[in-house]
Amino acid sequence: MGNLADISQRALEVLARVALIAAEDTRHTAGLLSHYGLRTPLTACHEHNEEKLVPRLLERLAAGEDLALVSDAGTPLISDPGYPLVAAARAAGLRVVPIPGPNAAICALSAAGLPSDRFVFLGFPPRTHAKRREWFVTLAQEPGTLIFYEAGNRVLATLADLAASLGPDRRAVVARELTKHFETFLDGTLAGLVPRIQEDPDQQKGEFVLLVEGCRDRDATGLEGERVLRILARELPLKQAAALAAEISGDKKNRLYTLGLASRT
């Protein structure tokens, strides 16, 4: 998320009064603090130092100080650092108070026009083509709206893999640069969105949330295939289990084999 004006009054009040702010990138957060005239000390808290930093922060919390945790933009812990600190603080019986604020996934869902009663946040897809396709196949029967984060240089390849794994006709929305100057929502089918984005290089720039409608008519054959596969794979080599599960259920052998592989990793 990227609009300074979206920070809440409560978040600013907390940032002003805590003893220390643990920030994903201190330079980035220093910009935010100076914009609002705040001088609270900062310490870096990112994936490379978080494990080491946690005991020091817990000591300060246990001594009665209030600390804040922020990420560069959006909500900490959501595809961002913070989980080890929050988990350790809770495990130590310390109070952890959420300060609600922007989050790209929820922001996109709230305006995408796809079903919002049930959804699954899936973070970033794997970076390689084969791993992505394999993973998407495992999501084919999920009834909730699927929400992914993706980088601009991979958005096209990921959409193409989604179309190949979930079927070309699924409705999808590409939400780009939310809350920023070039905010765009493109909607259509997975297969229809690929050429639209391919033809316009601007649509491959910036930050993206991809939303895909969930499985509308869950396929009884597919569900039965997965159930039988789970039972057989406990006793048999995967190849044989997938072949037998396909024969029993009428589902596709390759799909079941790929699912079996994915559930082993």
CA atoms 190, 196, 198, 201: torsion sign? negative
Of the candidate spans 76-84, 158-166, 216-224, 251-259, the one that interacts with ligand SAM by CB under 6 A turns out to be 76-84
CA atoms 238, 244, 247, 249: torsion sign? negative
For the segment 4-63, give every residue that binds ligand SAM (CB under 6 A): none
| In the complex, minimum distance from the CB of residue 29 to ligand SAM, in angstroms, rounded to a whole number | 13
Q: Which is nearer to ligand SAM, 104 or 212 (CB)?
A: 104
Q: Does 134 bind ligand SAM (CB under 6 A)?
A: no
| In the complex, minimum distance from the CB of residue 2 to ligand SAM, in angstroms, rounded to a whole number | 5
Dist CA 102 CA 90 (whole Å) = 23
Binding map of ligand SAM across residues 227-256, x = CB under 6 A, - = no contact: ------------------------------
Q: Which is nearer to ligand SAM, 87 or 220 (CB)?
A: 87
Q: Does 257 bind ligand SAM (CB under 6 A)?
A: no
The strand order across the sheet containing 42-44 reads 42-44, 20-23, 67-70
CA atoms 216, 217, 223, 225: torsion sign? negative
Choose, by CB under 6 A, the member of 177, 185, 189, 243 that binds ligand SAM.
Answer: 177
Choose, by CB under 6 A, the member of 21, 85, 163, 209 that binds ligand SAM.
Answer: 209
Choose, by CB under 6 A, the member of 23, 29, 80, 166 that binds ligand SAM.
Answer: 80
Q: Does 82 bind ligand SAM (CB under 6 A)?
A: no
Q: Which is nearer to ligand SAM, 174 or 232 (CB)?
A: 174
Residue with token string 């699954």? 120
* β-bridge mates for residue 32, sequence order: none
Choose, by CB under 6 A, the member of 69, 104, 172, 259 that binds ligand SAM.
Answer: 104
Q: Does 186 bind ligand SAM (CB under 6 A)?
A: no
Identity of the residue numbered 59: E
For the segment 137-176, give every residue that binds ligand SAM (CB under 6 A): 149-151, 175-176
Dist CA 98 CA 95 (whole Å) = 10
Q: Are 203 and 184 in contact (CB under 8 A)?
A: yes
Q: Are 213 and 115 in contact (CB under 8 A)?
A: yes
C-alpha pair distances (Å), 95 with each of 25, 61, 67, 84, 107: 24, 9, 11, 15, 27
Of the candidate spans 11-19, 56-64, 74-82, 164-172, the one that interacts with ligand SAM by CB under 6 A turns out to be 74-82
Q: Does 178 bind ligand SAM (CB under 6 A)?
A: yes
Q: Are strands 207-212 and 145-151 parallel, antiparallel or unpaired?
A: antiparallel
| In the complex, minimum distance from the CB of residue 71 to ligand SAM, in angstroms, rounded to a whole number | 5
- Burial, 92: exposed, middle or buried (Cβ in 10 Å; 0-12, 13-18, 19+)? exposed
Residue ranges binding ligand SAM (CB under 6 A): 1-2, 71, 73-75, 78-80, 103-104, 149-151, 175-180, 207-209
